[in-house]
Chains A and B, each alone.
Chain A
Amino acid sequence: MRLEPREHSSIFLNLGAPVFAVLAGLAVCSIMVWLAGAPAGKALVLIFRGALGSKFAISETLTRTTPLIFCGLAAAVAFRAKLWNIGAEGQLYMGAVAATLVGTGLVDFPGYLLIPLVFAAGALAGGILLLGPALLKTKLKVDEVVTTLLLNFIVLLFVNWLVFGPWKDPMALGWPQARPILDAAILGKLIPRTRLHSGLLISLAIAVIVWAFMRFTRWGLETRAVGANVRAARFSGIPVNRTIVRTALISGGLAGMAGVCELTGVRDYLTLDLSPGFGYTGIVVAMLAGLHPLGVILASFFISVIYIGADSMTRQLGITRYIADVNTAVCLLTMLTTMLLTRYRIRLK
């Protein structure tokens, strides 16, 4: 088997890659559902109905989309520079920690000041957390995949301590959670009596800003150059290390903002189960989007549909909701393969 580079990669191939990945994910899920003894077609219908079939369903899907947009952006920005940030989960929690610190009475600001402050604090916390592995990569050539991963575990234990220890809310009847944040910091709801909060709008705005940054600023150009060909980037005078550090601050910051969003929009207090793995799912979102910030919005929505839909289908068909995770993983691996096929042709000798 040989790989032959293609001379032209048509737009159809490029768009087809994520579509095919998505279809492959759904196909595998259908097979698994069928193997488990349930009707596959009905399962798919239930998934889509469960995610999109009612106003409430859509609001749930959109609520879940918000943190995925942030985490998808975090992965997309980092991977663009070939900085393998697998630590978005930890950065998310650190963002929530910082938001709790600032938003539970440290300062007494009105809402329009407190909310931006809380977001800024969360972004800063997330960015600083990724800074460590990034510096280890540039100065000591330590692989950032392992360091960011291990940090996730450390951060979760840290939150565990906070929530069972010094920050434990005495009013919470024994549940491990921190004191709730000030009302002024809580994000308003977009649709009353649902969980959908204005964090969605913030995430959309940030996605557009990130897109603009990558496309219209010199720093975006530098980031993309460093990721595409670091030797040529260095030769042409681009400051490679500085670019990697800057990318780390931005990527970590985005993941931190995901944590702030979940805290101020969905839960109002810090807990251990703030994120069911958004940081990791964000990686799949980013790959499906081809690392494009606006594509992240679409990909997040789709992945969200699968997760919320699977929740609903679970209750009705008795298939465990882990099916959604299987789908996500298959999407990732398929996307990698189809991305290769947009650049190379496979020749069987």
Chain B
Amino acid sequence: MELLTILMASGFWIAVLRIATPLIFGTIGELISERSGVLNLGIEGIMTMGSMIGWLYVYQGGNIWMGILAAAGSGALFGLLHAILTVHLGLSQHVTGIGITMLACSLSYFIFRMVLPQVTTPPKIKAMAAWAIPGLSSIPVIGKIFFTASPLTYLAIVISAVLIFLLLKTPLGLAVRMVGENPKGAEAQGINVLAVRTGAVMVGSALMAVGGAFLTLSAFDAFYIDMTNGRGWICIALVVFSSWRPGKALLGAILFAVFDALQMRVQQQTGTFIPYQVYLMLPYILSITALIIMSRKAAYPSALLVPYRRGER
């Protein structure tokens, strides 16, 4: 069957990992924020900003890893802005998030166009080379797929694992989760709800920005307008789909990447019968479907979207 041939090709799984990496960063970042009770709709803008900052740093001659750090920093800054507005001032998380996306996107494009005013084909930068893990990558078939990926992909997996551990197994992670479920209860135990939420949003935003940086520094090797193309919103849907459980979120991102990669391959095979736009629509349709399915059993953090006013009865 043609499906099997697709699934057996190592090129397919390489594509899957490439597609999944920004989604992993974005989804885990959003998940941390939402577990603390804050919906961060700025994700699309923050990812765009991350991709631009990362590219800019390298374009100006900097080191790739420093570029990733710079991207993370920019994400954290926008996260701080979001936190000040929604956590401390208690503004609508929906509208503020949209505003942050607008600001981050427009600033990214502005800076990009100021640096490269007339260019229609963006210049290439030296992107991250795939990094073969010595020893493991020599394993036939699997070695090529799983152990010769971009370093950022490995980073995504490692960071996800670390954050999952932090979130689920440490007192800090417990505080983050409690703040998103019952902030009054957390406050009664001496936890500073506003500080924890701010921290969670900033960390989450830094991750989102790194996911964006992956697009320019690893997957493609230049910055385009509309580069993120809705990935941020897909991450939001994936968080709901994962019932706010980080392990499931990781799986969800990979599953989604499988469907996306599959859709691309199938498109090439079936030719002109089904228009290619339909295939491009599939990620978004899939996301909406995921939202509908999971809405019934939504075990969302009980204090999500509710601003916490200290001392209010």
Q: A residues within 8 Å of B by Cβ?
A: 1-3, 32, 36, 79, 84, 86, 136, 140-143, 145-147, 149-151, 153-154, 157-158, 160-161, 165, 280, 283-284, 287, 318-320, 322-323, 325-326, 328-330, 332-333, 336-337, 340
Q: Check B109 against A336 for contact (C-beta < 8 Å).
A: no
**Which residues in B have their C-beta under 8 angstroms from that of A86?**
98
Q: Check B113 against A337 for contact (C-beta < 8 Å).
A: no
Q: Check B284 against A320 for contact (C-beta < 8 Å).
A: no
**Which residues in B have their C-beta under 8 angstroms from that of A280?**
98, 102
Taking CB as reference atom, which chain B residue is nearest A324?
B106
**Which residues in A have their C-beta under 8 angstroms from that of B280?**
157
CA distance A145 to B292 in the complex (A): 13
Q: Check B277 against A161 for contact (C-beta < 8 Å).
A: yes
CA distance A91 to B287 in the complex (A): 19
Q: Check B85 against A337 for contact (C-beta < 8 Å).
A: yes
With A3-B309, A141-B298 known as contacts, the answer to whether A146 contacts B275 (CB < 8 A) is: no
Between A79, A153, A165, A323, the greatest number of chain B beta carbons within 10 A of the residue's beta carbon is seen for: A153
Within 8 A of A (CB), among B272-287: 275, 277-278, 280-281, 284-285, 287
CA distance A149 to B233 in the complex (A): 8
Extra A-B contacts (11), CB below 8 Å, given A36-B114, A143-B291, A333-B96: A136-B292, A145-B94, A157-B278, A158-B277, A161-B275, A283-B95, A284-B102, A322-B106, A325-B109, A332-B102, A336-B96
CA distance A24 to B106 in the complex (A): 16
Q: Check B99 against A332 for contact (C-beta < 8 Å).
A: yes
Q: Check A329 against B106 for contact (C-beta < 8 Å).
A: yes
CA distance A308 to B306 in the complex (A): 39
- In this complex, how many residues of chain B approach chain A with their Cβ under 8 Å: the count is 48
Q: Check A3 against B90 for contact (C-beta < 8 Å).
A: yes
Instruction: Pick the residue among A143, A158, A332 that contacts B281 (CB under 8 A).
Output: A158
CA distance A79 to B277 in the complex (A): 32
With A160-B277, A283-B98 known as contacts, the answer to whether A320 contacts B288 (CB < 8 A) is: no
Q: Check A142 against B292 for contact (C-beta < 8 Å).
A: yes
Instruction: Pick the residue among B91, B96, B102 that contacts A325 (CB under 8 A).
Output: B102
CA distance A84 to B41 in the complex (A): 12
Q: Check B98 against A153 for contact (C-beta < 8 Å).
A: no
Q: Check B292 against A330 for contact (C-beta < 8 Å).
A: no
Q: Check A154 against B285 for contact (C-beta < 8 Å).
A: yes
Within 8 A of A (CB), among B76-107: 81, 85, 88-92, 94-96, 98-100, 102-103, 105-107
Q: Check B109 against A320 for contact (C-beta < 8 Å).
A: yes
Determine whether B117 belongs to the interface, using a CB cutoff of 8 Å to chain A.
yes
A and B contact pairs by CB, cutoff 8 A, 18 listed: A2-B311, A79-B95, A84-B95, A136-B291, A141-B295, A142-B292, A143-B240, A145-B94, A146-B291, A147-B288, A153-B229, A153-B233, A157-B277, A160-B277, A318-B117, A325-B102, A326-B103, A340-B90
Instruction: Pick the residue among B88, B92, B109 that contacts A1 (CB under 8 A).
Output: B88
Taking CB as reference atom, which chain B residue is nearest A318?
B117
Q: Check A337 against B91 for contact (C-beta < 8 Å).
A: yes
Taking CB as reference atom, which chain A residue is nearest B291?
A142
Taking CB as reference atom, which chain B residue is nearest A142?
B295
Q: Check A147 against B291 for contact (C-beta < 8 Å).
A: yes
Q: Check B89 against A340 for contact (C-beta < 8 Å).
A: yes
Taking CB as reference atom, which chain B residue is nearest A136?
B292
**Which residues in A have their C-beta under 8 angstroms from that of B88?**
1
Q: Check A328 against B309 for contact (C-beta < 8 Å).
A: no
Determine whether B258 belongs to the interface, using a CB cutoff of 8 Å to chain A.
no
Within 8 A of A (CB), among B214-241: 229-230, 233-234, 236-237, 240
What's the least CB distance linking B38 to chain A, in Å?
Answer: 14
**Which residues in B have their C-beta under 8 angstroms from that of A319?**
114
Taking CB as reference atom, which chain B residue is nearest A141?
B295
Q: Check A32 against B292 for contact (C-beta < 8 Å).
A: no
CA distance A140 to B294 in the complex (A): 10
Q: Check A322 against B110 for contact (C-beta < 8 Å).
A: yes
6 smallest A-B Cβ distances: which pairs? A325-B106, A320-B113, A329-B103, A329-B102, A161-B277, A322-B110
**Which residues in A have their C-beta under 8 angstroms from that of B105?**
325, 329
- Per-position 1/0 for B26-53, Cβ under 8 A of A: 0000000000000001000000000000
- Per-position 1/0 for B252-283, Cβ under 8 A of A: 00000000000000000000000101101100
CA distance A145 to B105 in the complex (A): 18
**Which residues in A have their C-beta under 8 angstroms from that of B234?**
150
Determine whether B313 belongs to the interface, using a CB cutoff of 8 Å to chain A.
no
With A326-B110, A329-B106 known as contacts, the answer to whether A150 contacts B237 (CB < 8 A) is: yes
With A3-B89, A318-B117 known as contacts, the answer to whether A153 contacts B284 (CB < 8 A) is: yes
Between B81, B88, B92, the greatest number of chain A beta carbons within 10 A of the residue's beta carbon is seen for: B92
Q: Check B106 against A150 for contact (C-beta < 8 Å).
A: no
